[in-house]
Amino acid sequence: MVTLSPPSATDETIFVAAKQTFGSVPPLTVVTVKSQVAVPQFDPQTNLPTGDYQYALTLPIAAPSLGPYNTLLPILFAPQPMVAGIYAVEASATGYVPKSVDNVNISTGDKTQDFSLDLAP
């Protein structure tokens, strides 16, 4: 769940993304594995937005493969077991300070990651 603090008066679009980082020395490679727009929640009594937004990302737990771009074929892919099931999850909305949580490990089971985005100064 993503909460906007204070709630948006203009019904902002909330983006949530899961990313994986490859490599141990710069330049690191960052890949967005999945992203989505969070869905606004409404108060059942007033039918007004609550400021909370729901999301659910289904992500792979297997080791991804990475291959350097090359004009010569074939591209050789190598498994990256050090990042299997490990993601940085980010939430953002226009006018709010984005937040990120690193090292979310889903290899042992489902995880819930909530965010509270504060209004940008």
pLDDT tens profile 70-109: 888 999 999 999 999 999 999 999 999 999 999 999 999 9
Question: ∠ CA 69-75-78 to the nearest 5 degrees?
Answer: 95
As a whole number, mean pLDDT of residues 54-73 equals 91
Q: What is the pLDDT of residue 89?
A: 97
Residues in the chain: 121
pLDDT tier for residue 12 given thresholds of 50, 70 and 90: confident
Q: What is the pLDDT of residue 24?
A: 73
Question: Which residues on adjacent β-strands are paired with residue 117?
Answer: 4
Give the list of residues 6+ apart from residue 93 with CB closer than 8 angstroms, or none. 2, 4, 8, 12, 13, 14, 15, 117
Higher-scoring residue by pLDDT: 58, 22: 58
Q: What is the pLDDT of residue 90?
A: 97
Q: What is the pLDDT of residue 47?
A: 85
pLDDT tier for residue 66 given thresholds of 50, 70 and 90: confident
pLDDT tens profile 14-52: 999 999 998 777 788 899 999 999 998 888 998 887 889
Q: What is the pTM of this model?
A: 0.86
